[in-house]
Amino acid sequence: MGRLKISPQAEAVRQLFMALEENAKRIKTCWFRASQLSRLKLANQGHLSGNHKPGCVFEELATAGEHCIIVRHDDQQVKEIAEKRLCESIDALFAAMTKESAPNCPFPICQYPFKLGHKLECPFNALRSARGRG
């Protein structure tokens, strides 16, 4: 499948979920709701939701990201509403990531302590950068 023509925020969310799938064996569970991370490789196709428990900030983010992908060919107003919801979901994820909930970044490429932020290569860093551009 070719690259999806979606917003930078939606692409960063898709990349985050692809990284979660890729590292699921090492990370094992969601650090917010302890759901098993999926090892199925579906995020590259835009299938993001359904792998986290209802109410989990990751599930909310996945649903908002999927919606942006689905409406990418709709009119501008529909896309703007979807993008606003996605930005709110990204903000909610970062607000939920506290020193208590994620003392160290779970991605093997990063694993930085909370107080140091994330390495440049970390999917969370890319998500934060994309959110800043959105």
Domain coverage including residue 24: 8-133
Is there a domain that residue 22 lies in? Answer: yes
pLDDT beneath 50: ranges in the chain: 1
Q: Give the global pTM.
A: 0.85
How far, in Å, CA of 21 to CA of 45, rounded?
Answer: 12
Is there a domain that residue 14 lies in? Answer: yes
The pLDDT assigned to 133 comes to: 61
Is there a domain that residue 1 lies in? Answer: no
Is there a domain that residue 62 lies in? Answer: yes
Residue 59 burial by CB count (10 A; 0-12/13-18/19+): exposed, middle or buried?
buried
Is there a domain that residue 30 lies in? Answer: yes
Is there a domain that residue 125 lies in? Answer: yes
3-state secondary structure of 65: helix
The pLDDT assigned to 4 comes to: 67
Is there a domain that residue 3 lies in? Answer: no
The pLDDT assigned to 1 comes to: 45
What's the domain count of the chain?
Answer: 1
CB atoms within 10 A of CB 36: 11
